[in-house]
Amino acid sequence: MQERTSSRIVVMTAGGTNPQVMINALARHFPDLHVIEEQPETKGALLRRRARRFGWATAIGQLLTMVASRLGKNVAARRSAEIIRDYGLSAEPNPAIPVTCVPSLNDPACLAMVTKLQPAAIFTISCRILSPQTLAAIPCPVVNFHAGINPMYRGQMGGYWSLVEGDEKNFGTTVHLVDKGIDTGGTLYEKRLTPSRADSLATYPLLMTAACVDISVRALQDAIGGTLKPYRPQGPSVVRFPPTIWTWVYHGFTKGIW
């Protein structure tokens, strides 16, 4: 582990509104912040990967939910703007924040940039899983922002699944260290929230991002200061995936959870 000689933070992401909100907020606390942005995975590649794991019917059903969710983001634009305003944040790209674009965070170009920047810590949000080889080559703590409470809601759309399962008390976010598993690294901080009735699959992630800037900042400050204290939270460990379109519609009509 390298000696901490700076307070530089590197954010790794595939881009998007929610990561930009977090990046802008972090830059207020960490002026020496640099972003490494990978190209998002194509819908075709994502569909084929999920089909290999779940079968084509489920994969297509999940993809349709993603499409519906994107349409929902347009419908939920007013609520999204309200969240950003209420938390005093911004989703606009900040030209003062340096950004390096790479094909993938697991590409040698990414590691070359990390070596050049020598950050005190790396913060990942909305990006591909880092390969074991990439993780092994990174000489500083890697902290992840996860929109779900670990270990019960690992994977994707943890807030949605907590509501569907009647577990509203565990609607929230985890900031944790990254290891070789899917959201299995030691927890640093977690925070529970209460979504508005106006929130849905389209706005849950933004709400979590906006409301949990504070624990993200705290974790990175700990990383810079060498005072990280990861722990293992209790509870069953379950990996979650996006609902199929028929599952999403069913819970929407029967439980009012969209």
Choose between 4 and 218: higher pLDDT. Answer: 218
Taking only the tens place, the pLDDT of each residue in 168-209 is: 999 999 999 999 999 999 999 999 999 999 999 999 999 999
| Predicted local distance difference test score (pLDDT) of residue 1 | 42
Please say whether the dihedral angle defined by the alpha carbons of residues 208, 209, 210 and 214, taken in this order, is positive or negative.
positive
Taking only the tens place, the pLDDT of each residue in 81-107 is: 999 999 999 999 999 999 999 999 999
The Cβ of residue 231 has, within 10 Å, a number of other Cβ atoms equal to: 9
| Predicted local distance difference test score (pLDDT) of residue 71 | 75
Residues 137-162, mean pLDDT to the nearest whole number: 97
The Cβ of residue 14 has, within 10 Å, a number of other Cβ atoms equal to: 17
- Maximum average pLDDT range among 38-42, 44-48, 190-194: 190-194
- Rounded distance, CA 100 to CA 110, Å? 9
Q: What is the DSSP string of 180-221?
A: SSSS-SPEEEEEE----TT--TTTHHHHHHHHTHHHHHHHHH
Taking only the tens place, the pLDDT of each residue in 230-240 is: 999 999 999 99
Task: Please determine, looking at this structure, whether the domain spanning 9-255 carries the CATH number 1.20.1440.230.
Answer: no
Mean pLDDT of the chain: 94
The percentage of residues in the chain with a pLDDT greater than 70, rounded to a whole number, is: 97
| Predicted local distance difference test score (pLDDT) of residue 73 | 67
- Rounded distance, CA 130 to CA 115, Å? 16
- Rounded distance, CA 136 to CA 257, Å? 40
| Predicted local distance difference test score (pLDDT) of residue 46 | 86
| Predicted local distance difference test score (pLDDT) of residue 118 | 96
Which residue spans within 134-197 are E strands per DSSP?
142-146, 154-155, 172-177, 187-192
* pLDDT of 2 over the 50 cut: no
* pLDDT of 147 over the 50 cut: yes
3-state secondary structure of 35: strand
Residues 22-49, mean pLDDT to the nearest whole number: 94
Residues 7-15, mean pLDDT to the nearest whole number: 96
* pLDDT of 5 over the 70 cut: no
The percentage of residues in the chain with a pLDDT greater than 90, rounded to a whole number, is: 88
| Predicted local distance difference test score (pLDDT) of residue 91 | 96
109 within 8 A of 102, measured Cβ to Cβ:
yes
User: pLDDT class for 19, splitting at 50, 70, 90?
Assistant: very high
Residues 21-40, mean pLDDT to the nearest whole number: 97
* pLDDT of 3 over the 50 cut: no
| Predicted local distance difference test score (pLDDT) of residue 99 | 98
